[in-house]
A and B are shown apart, each in its own frame.
Chain A
Amino acid sequence: MLSVREQERYRRQVLLFGEEGQERLKNARIFIAGAGGLGCPIALYLAVAGIGTITIADKDVVEQTNLNRQILHYDRDIGRKKTVSAEEKLREANPDIRVDAIDTTIDAGNVSRLVGRSDGIVDAMDNYSTRYMLNETAIAKKIPLFHGAIRGLHGQATTIIPGETACLACIFPHAPPQEVFPVIGVTPGFIGMVQATEVIKYLTGQGNLLTNRLLIWDGMESRAEELSVERNPACSACCRGGKTTPGEKIR
């Protein structure tokens, strides 16, 4: 049941998906991997939307160079753990939700436990090795993965429903080279909003998800396009054409 305060807080979005939809958000648990450029706006908007339990994991300390885009961290937070900073702001933004901020490096040994009984995983990472781990965890737990990535004024996003849609390894079997990427806050803001919108749609059962489609945003041209993607029968992560059965690597 929504409290009187919650009914008031969410009144304008209850117009969109009813109290039942809001209850679904309240009962949901979402795991956000990363409290950086993507993770900050995603966590903030999911918090104010009333996602009942948000778990956010990050290993880093706030640095001055983060502040052009990582909008949960302020100048006064430089030197503090990102998890501490993020948790503080999210609690202030919405005291009616639960926030678990975990200061750790996501690795193969802890990823399954970190995700726990979450209803979905949000990919707000900055590297593909962790992304592939999140993908395998999503497959093993049969929960969606909401992917996003950015560089400069360019971004991409897709939603993965294990067993039904192309997975991250079907779409990107090989990681691009690592680099110190250029970025301005509006790009992870934009892509993060696509991801957060997908989470809310998934949880409330509304609309058409961004599945089997890779959304590509070119901020320089102000153009959004789509590439159609499909499951790869030889995918090593989600299909039996690979060497392992689905989710075998991580449980």
Chain B
Amino acid sequence: MTATIRFFARFRELLGTDIQAPVEAGATLTGLVRRIAKQNSEGYEAIFDESGNFREFVIIMKNGKRIERGAAGITLVSDNDEIAVFPPVAGG
């Protein structure tokens, strides 16, 4: 099973995008993104807090549907899922 992880904006600069990630049965959304983000410590810290949870401003979507940050840890990832991880930008 594989899922596609799409990072945006700053996260994309640090981690790339359209990453094809192998998914094991029972993998959660948080667990999968954590594993991919660990490839770059700055990228990981931008997305996750000290407890390994998504930072509160991070927008997470699975197949175009918003996933609440609190639910990401219990949301399972299936074959061909597309996960989007997006940080709002703030400048003007």
Contacts and interface: CB of A to CB of B under 8 A. Distances in A.
Given A175-B88, A178-B90, 16 more contacts: A37-B92, A126-B90, A128-B88, A148-B92, A149-B91, A150-B92, A151-B89, A152-B9, A172-B59, A176-B57, A176-B87, A177-B57, A216-B86, A227-B86, A228-B64, A230-B66
B48 interface: no
A246 interface: no
A150 B89 CA distance: 6
A220 B8 CA distance: 11
A64 interface: no
Contacts of B64: 227-228
B56 A126 contact: no
Interface in B48-92: 56-57, 59, 61, 64, 66, 84, 86-92
Category for how many chain B residues contact A: 10 to 19
Contact of B92 (A124, A216, A230): A124
Given A38-B92, A128-B90, A175-B90, A154 B56 contact: no
A149 B66 contact: no
B34 interface: no
A159 B56 CA distance: 23
A123 B91 CA distance: 11
Interface string A101-140: 0000000000000000000000111111000000000000
Nearest to A124: B92
B10 A174 contact: no
Contacts of B12: 154, 218
Contacts of A36: 92
A218 B86 CA distance: 12
A34 B91 CA distance: 11
Contacts of A171: 59
A155 interface: yes
A173 B57 CA distance: 7
Contacts of B86: 216, 227
Contacts of B89: 149-151, 154-156, 176, 181
A174 B56 CA distance: 6
Contacts of A154: 8-10, 12, 89
15 contacts: A123-B92, A126-B90, A149-B88, A150-B89, A151-B10, A154-B89, A176-B87, A178-B90, A183-B91, A188-B92, A216-B8, A227-B59, A227-B61, A227-B64, A229-B66
A53 B69 CA distance: 42
B60 to A, nearest CB: 11
B88 A126 contact: no
A151 B66 CA distance: 23
B56 to A, nearest CB: 4
A68 to B, nearest CB: 13
Contacts of A229: 66
Nearest to A187: B91
A39 interface: yes
Interface in B1-27: 8-10, 12-13
